[in-house]
């Protein structure tokens, strides 16, 4: 009975798509839940009682989701963690055993690669939802839209990692990006937030248009839109066919790399990153730093290794590896040097995320020469996701309404006044710096090992130098927290109380510590998840 | 061969429109003009897709792709205009008196 | 051959008759004094008043944007409709899911008050 149910193609199809369906349906339900609720804001209810237009303190119309961030955050977190759990279940059964999902190929490829990324982005999204559950009410951002948008952005990220066709790739990319633009501009009364959203939107759509033109050129050169088909067609080109199309394919490659490097936030396509990260509400910043970046790297790997896997394009002399190596080196050096000079911790973390994009790109470059490189990139992204969200979460916990902890000075003496929050902060920063026994250490270790295996010694040396530079500004936070006292009269950070943020930090800390002590299970998973493995 | 030449003309035109859009985006500072430039770029891609579809025929992938680009572009404009409006509204409140800020 | 084009021909005839009738009736029945107001450019309805850079309420943009977003979705329904029979029940189910998602979006917009003109 049970076996016949499991062998039915319809059920297997639902099971294979369950991580994506969970987010899609869950997001729709959350939208309705948000719209059909009543705002729980005292002055809004009073206004409604006397029949007046419900208006907030700034004369704005009160949103239906106002004051309900806690319940909506719980809903979003449940949906996103359910997506993560479905991914794990699908992983254990094995996506290759769920053949029914071939019906949605090549638009969505349900392989171990996409299931791995589905888990990582759902985990990141879930933690970001919990952070927002604490942050939004504390800072009086009464926008219930945040949570359905977050779910749909994560859905886009999931679909992006699974996209096996230029069409679904573009639609997934825009699903993710359009939601994030809104999440950045959520604080509607803040000039900074709206400037950040505007900048991010303009440059983001510009990059998307460049990518799209690249996609059209690929279609023109090969007559295919599925990534595998394009890859085969390029590999089959030779002689006259190649002569006429080589330029077209190279332009397409360049445009796709530029577009995706932009989404990752790598130098020299990083101009938007610091402003957008600083102007956005902190949970959004965390989400952008992890889920958007992770999904963009996933699709970059798939594009490079499936479409441009041809040895003429993947070689060191004529292909993409030197370009990506340049991007990696520039990202690390420029981001690390500027990060060290920042006054604002949030902006420092923004530059640090650019530097981490550089480390990830070292691994991506190494995929051209080393078999372990792909797994090291996947593992790095997992460790980076939990460490970064933890750091942003701890930064959220350090501030209150109208007293958000921003600068190093704000954090002076924090360790003595609030040991638990400071300890968590230190822990995540140590992981970002790559010190054992944390997840970040093994992330860097495997990427550098893969690069050594690929005989890219100079990249490893540059990466190590940058790790040391990076350690400087992470440790500077610790110095301020534990060894400085706030100047007299200076506004110092009073931590907020929030069960949601605390829960998110505990989850992130479990992962950081677990991956730091027992990296083997996750590494094996990453090895199993590689493309073409 | 004659057909190929025609397709190439369309692709050339599409490339020109794309370049006009890109140059417009980079050189103009008016947000709305920049938004229009992005639309120009997206529409030039549609032209290229449809032209390539004529060349390759078959499964009509190019035309289908163009449909999706149109739909996504509409969503992008919706989000973009909302962000632009919010930006202008805030800048206006900074510069003018209270009554203007409460108008909407 | 001719039979195939007969409906098309009839359509032309009907269009010509209706169009011609309206034009002729307007010519004979309508009043024709050309006043200074009618001679003004873009003559239509009320007099134009005030400057060009008049501020419109933001609701116009909101409604227009919502219209564009929902309107453009028809782009997916047309190809589906032309292939309705060959796509079968799978196609029908897929399109139904699409329409349901659109419906949820519409309900959302409605509940959020974005469709209310007066407020």
Whether CATH 1.10.287.3510 fits B2-101: yes
- A19, with CB counted inside 10 A (0-12, 13-18, 19+), is buried
Contacts (Cβ under 8 Å, ≥6 apart) of B73: B39, B42, B43
Count, residues in chain A: 533
- Structure tokens given for B1: 């061969």
Stretches where chain A sits below pLDDT 50 are: 1, 51-60
Nearest to A521 by CA among A17, A78, A15, A91: A91
CB proximity C55 to B under 8 Å = yes
Query: Is position A374 within any domain?
Result: yes
Task: Answer yes or no: is pLDDT of B1 > 50.
Answer: no
Nearest to B44 by CA among A216, A516, A303, A122: A216
Task: Give the bridge partners for A407, in sequence order.
Answer: A344
CB proximity C79 to B under 8 Å = yes
Q: How many CB pairs under 8 A join A and C?
A: 18
- Tell whether omega for the bond before A107 is within 30 degrees of 0, i.e. cis: no
CB proximity B103 to A under 8 Å = no
- Structure tokens given for A62: 């009160």
Specify the 3-state DSSP secondary structure of A165: strand
Interface of A with B (CB under 8 A): 59, 166-167, 170-171, 174, 178, 181-182, 185, 188-191, 194-195, 197-198, 201-202, 205-206, 208-210, 212-213, 215-217, 219-220, 223-225
Alpha helix positions (H), A37-145: 42-49, 69-93, 112-138
A351/A348 Cα distance (integer angstroms) = 5
Task: Please check whether residue B102 is in contact with residue A56, taking contact to mean a CB–CB distance below 8 angstroms.
Answer: no
Task: Please check whether residue A126 is in contact with residue A105, taking contact to mean a CB–CB distance below 8 angstroms.
Answer: no
> How close is the nearest chain C Cα to the Cα of A485, in Å?
48
Per CB-CB distance under 8 Å, the chain C contacts of A35 are 107-108, 111-112
Nearest to A74 by CA among A521, A499, A533: A499
Count, residues in chain B: 104
A117-to-A81, A304, A468, C9 alpha-carbon distances in Å: 14, 17, 29, 61
Characterize A129-162 residue by residue with b for buried, 16 or more Cβ atoms within 10 angstroms of its Cβ, and e for exposed. bbbbbbbbbbbebbbbbbbbbbbbbbbbbbbbbb
The string of pLDDT tens digits covering residues A60-72 is: 456 677 778 888 9
Contact B85 C61 (CB under 8 A): yes
Nearest to A213 by CA among C83, C24, B45: B45
Q: Chains near B, with 3+ CB pairs < 8 A? A: A, C
Residue B86 is predicted with a pLDDT of: 85
Contact C68 B77 (CB under 8 A): yes
C96 CB neighbour count, 10 Å cutoff: 11
Query: Is position A378 within any domain?
Result: yes
> How close is the nearest chain B Cα to the Cα of C72, in Å?
6
> How close is the nearest chain A Cα to the Cα of B82, in Å?
9
A166/A223 Cα distance (integer angstroms) = 12
Nearest Cα residue in chain B from A226: B61
Rounded (to 5) percent helix, strand, coil in chain B = 90, 0, 10
Mutation target to probe the A interface, by most A beta carbons within 10 A, among B9, B87, B99 is B87
Query: Is position A531 within any domain?
Result: yes
CB proximity B77 to A under 8 Å = no
pLDDT band at B102 (very low <50, low <70, confident <90, very high): very low
B69-to-A106, A198, A213, A216, C7 alpha-carbon distances in Å: 18, 21, 11, 11, 37
Mutation target to probe the C interface, by most C beta carbons within 10 A, among B50, B74, B79, B80 is B74
Residue A122 is predicted with a pLDDT of: 97
- Structure tokens given for A291: 């889920």
A31/A179 Cα distance (integer angstroms) = 13
Task: Please check whether residue A385 is in contact with residue A120, taking contact to mean a CB–CB distance below 8 angstroms.
Answer: yes
Per CB-CB distance under 8 Å, the chain A contacts of B94 are 191
Contact B55 A205 (CB under 8 A): no
Q: ipTM of the predicted structure?
A: 0.88
Task: Please check whether residue A358 is in contact with residue A325, taking contact to mean a CB–CB distance below 8 angstroms.
Answer: no
Nearest to B72 by CA among C67, A178, A204: A178
A299/A175 Cα distance (integer angstroms) = 14
Tokens 């359910």 belong to A82
> How close is the nearest chain C Cα to the Cα of B103, in Å?
8
Contacts (Cβ under 8 Å, ≥6 apart) of A247: none
- Structure tokens given for A241: 């066919």
CB proximity C90 to B under 8 Å = no
Query: Is position A421 within any domain?
Result: yes
A255/A15 Cα distance (integer angstroms) = 36
Nearest Cα residue in chain C from B80: C65
Which helix H or strand E contains A10, and what residues bound it? Answer: helix A9-16
To 10 degrees, the CA torsion angle through A181, A182, A183, A186?
130
The string of pLDDT tens digits covering residues B48-72 is: 999 999 888 777 889 999 999 999 9
A83/A88 Cα distance (integer angstroms) = 9
Task: Please check whether residue A352 is in contact with residue A432, taking contact to mean a CB–CB distance below 8 angstroms.
Answer: yes
C-alpha gyration radius of chain A: 23
Q: At A403, phi and psi to the nearest 5?
A: -145, 50
Contact B72 A171 (CB under 8 A): yes
Nearest to A125 by CA among A349, A348, A378, A386: A386
The string of pLDDT tens digits covering residues A111-123 is: 999 999 999 999 9
> How close is the nearest chain A Cα to the Cα of C91, in Å?
13
- Tell whether omega for the bond before C103 is within 30 degrees of 0, i.e. cis: no
Residue, of B104 and A253, whose pLDDT is higher: A253
A367/A377 Cα distance (integer angstroms) = 9
A443/A434 Cα distance (integer angstroms) = 8
- Structure tokens given for A161: 């990692």
B58 CB neighbour count, 10 Å cutoff: 9
> How close is the nearest chain B Cα to the Cα of A267, in Å?
18
Residue B48 is predicted with a pLDDT of: 94
A312: left (phi over 0), alpha (psi -120 to 50) or beta: alpha
CB proximity B49 to A under 8 Å = yes
Q: Where do the structural domains in chain B lie, given as residue ranges?
A: 2-101
Residue B71 is predicted with a pLDDT of: 93
Residue B94 is predicted with a pLDDT of: 33
Which helix H or strand E contains B53, and what residues bound it? Answer: helix B31-56
Nearest to A389 by CA among A123, A74, A119: A123
Contact C75 B81 (CB under 8 A): no
Whole-number mean pLDDT of chain C? 81
A519/A383 Cα distance (integer angstroms) = 10
Q: At A55, phi and psi to the nearest 5?
A: -135, 145
Which helix H or strand E contains A31, and what residues bound it? Answer: helix A18-36
Task: Please check whether residue A443 is in contact with residue A451, taking contact to mean a CB–CB distance below 8 angstroms.
Answer: no
Which residue in the set A178, A213, A225 is minimally distant from B79, CB to CB?
A: A178
Average pLDDT over residues C82-110: 92
End-to-end CA, chain A: 35
Task: Answer yes or no: is pLDDT of B77 > 50.
Answer: yes
> How close is the nearest chain A Cα to the Cα of B49, in Å?
6
Residue A282 is predicted with a pLDDT of: 93
Residue B85 is predicted with a pLDDT of: 83
Q: Chains near A, with 3+ CB pairs < 8 A? A: B, C
Residue A157 is predicted with a pLDDT of: 97
Q: At C53, phi and psi to the nearest 5?
A: -85, 45
Could you list the residue range(s) of the whole structural domain that residue A482 is in? 320-533
> How close is the nearest chain A Cα to the Cα of C111, in Å?
6
B21 CB neighbour count, 10 Å cutoff: 24
Contacts (Cβ under 8 Å, ≥6 apart) of C24: none
- B24, with CB counted inside 10 A (0-12, 13-18, 19+), is middle
Structural domains of chain C, ranges and CATH numbers in brackets: 2-111 (1.20.58)
Q: At what angle do helices A18-36 and C84-111 cross, to 10 degrees?
A: 40
Query: Is position A209 within any domain?
Result: no
Residue A466 is predicted with a pLDDT of: 93
Contacts (Cβ under 8 Å, ≥6 apart) of A226: A106, A164, A165, A166
């Amino acid at each position: 009975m049970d076996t016949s149910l499991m062998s039915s193609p319809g059920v297997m199809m639902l099971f294979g798509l369950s991580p994506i369906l969970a987010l899609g349906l869950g997001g729709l339900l959350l939208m309705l839940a948000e719209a059909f609720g009543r705002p729980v804001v005292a002055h809004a209810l009073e206004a409604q009682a006397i029949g007046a237009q419900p208006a907030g303190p700034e004369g704005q119309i009160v949103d239906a989701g106002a004051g309900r961030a806690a319940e909506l955050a719980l809903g979003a977190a449940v949906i996103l963690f359910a997506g993560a759990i479905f991914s794990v279940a699908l992983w254990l059964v094995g996506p290759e055993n769920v053949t029914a999902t071939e019906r949605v190929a090549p638009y969505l490829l349900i392989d171990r690669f996409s299931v791995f990324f589905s888990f990582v982005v759902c985990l990141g999204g879930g933690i970001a939802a919990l952070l927002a559950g604490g942050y939004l009410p504390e800072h009086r951002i009464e926008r219930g839209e945040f949570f359905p948008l977050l779910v749909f952005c994560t859905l886009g990220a999931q679909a992006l990692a699974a996209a096996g066709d230029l069409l679904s790739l573009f639609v997934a990319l825009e699903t993710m990006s359009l939601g994030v633009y809104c999440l950045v501009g959520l604080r509607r009364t803040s000039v900074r937030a709206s400037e950040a959203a505007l900048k991010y939107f303009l440059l983001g759509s510009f990059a998307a248009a460049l990518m799209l033109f690249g996609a059209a050129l690929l279609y023109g050169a090969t007559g295919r839109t599925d990534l595998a088909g394009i890859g085969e067609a390029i590999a089959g080109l030779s002689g006259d066919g190649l002569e006429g199309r080589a330029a077209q394919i190279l332009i397409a490659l360049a445009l796709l790399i530029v577009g995706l490097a932009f989404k990752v936030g790598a130098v020299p396509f990083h101009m938007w990153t610091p402003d957008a990260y600083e102007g956005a509400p902190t949970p959004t910043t965390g989400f952008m730093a992890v889920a958007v970046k992770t999904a963009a790297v996933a699709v970059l790997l798939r594009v490079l290794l499936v479409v441009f896997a041809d040895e003429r394009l993947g070689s060191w002399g004529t292909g993409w590896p030197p370009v990506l190596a340049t991007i990696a080196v520039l990202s690390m050096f420029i981001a690390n040097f500027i990060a060290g000079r920042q006054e604002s911790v949030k902006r420092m973390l923004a530059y640090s995320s650019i530097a981490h994009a550089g480390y990830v790109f070292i691994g991506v470059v190494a995929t051209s020469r080393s078999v372990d490189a792909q797994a090291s990139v996947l593992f790095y992204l997992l460790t980076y996701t939990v460490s970064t969200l933890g750091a942003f979460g701890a930064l959220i916990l350090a501030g209150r309404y109208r007293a958000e902890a921003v600068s190093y000075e704000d954090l002076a003496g924090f360790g003595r006044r609030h040991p638990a929050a400071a300890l968590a902060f230190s822990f995540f920063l140590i992981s970002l710096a790559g010190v054992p026994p944390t997840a970040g250490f093994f992330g860097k270790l495997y990427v550098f090992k893969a690069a050594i295996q690929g005989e890219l010694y100079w990249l490893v040396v540059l990466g190590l130098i940058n790790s040391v530079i990076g350690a400087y500004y992470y440790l500077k936070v610790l110095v301020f927290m534990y060894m400085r006292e706030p100047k007299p009269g200076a506004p110092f950070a009073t931590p907020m109380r929030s069960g949601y943020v605390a829960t998110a930090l505990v989850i992130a800390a479990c992962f950081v510590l677990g991956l730091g002590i027992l990296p083997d299970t996750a590494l094996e998973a990453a090895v199993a998840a590689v493309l073409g493995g | 061969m004659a057909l190929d030449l025609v397709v190439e003309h369309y692709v050339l035109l599409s490339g020109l429109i794309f370049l006009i859009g890109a140059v417009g985006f980079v050189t103009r500072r008016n947000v709305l003009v920049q938004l229009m430039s992005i639309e120009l770029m997206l529409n030039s891609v549609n032209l290229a897709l449809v032209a390539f579809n004529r060349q390759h025929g078959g499964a009509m992938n190019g035309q289908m792709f163009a449909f999706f680009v149109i739909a996504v572009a509409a969503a992008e404009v919706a989000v973009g205009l909302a962000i632009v409006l919010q930006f202008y509204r805030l800048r206006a409140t900074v510069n003018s008196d209270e009554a203007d800020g409460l108008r909407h | 051959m001719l039979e195939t084009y007969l409906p098309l021909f009839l359509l032309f005839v009907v269009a010509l008759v209706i169009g011609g009738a309206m034009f002729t009736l307007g010519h004979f029945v309508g009043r024709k004094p050309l006043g200074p107001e009618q001679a003004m450019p873009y003559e239509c309805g009320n007099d134009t008043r005030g400057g060009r850079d008049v501020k419109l309420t933001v609701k116009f943009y909101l409604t227009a944007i919502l219209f564009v977003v929902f309107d453009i979705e028809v782009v997916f329904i047309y190809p589906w409709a032309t292939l309705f029979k060959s796509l079968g029940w799978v196609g029908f189910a897929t399109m139904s899911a699409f329409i349901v998602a659109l419906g949820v979006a519409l309900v959302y917009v409605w509940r959020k008050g974005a469709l209310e003109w007066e407020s």
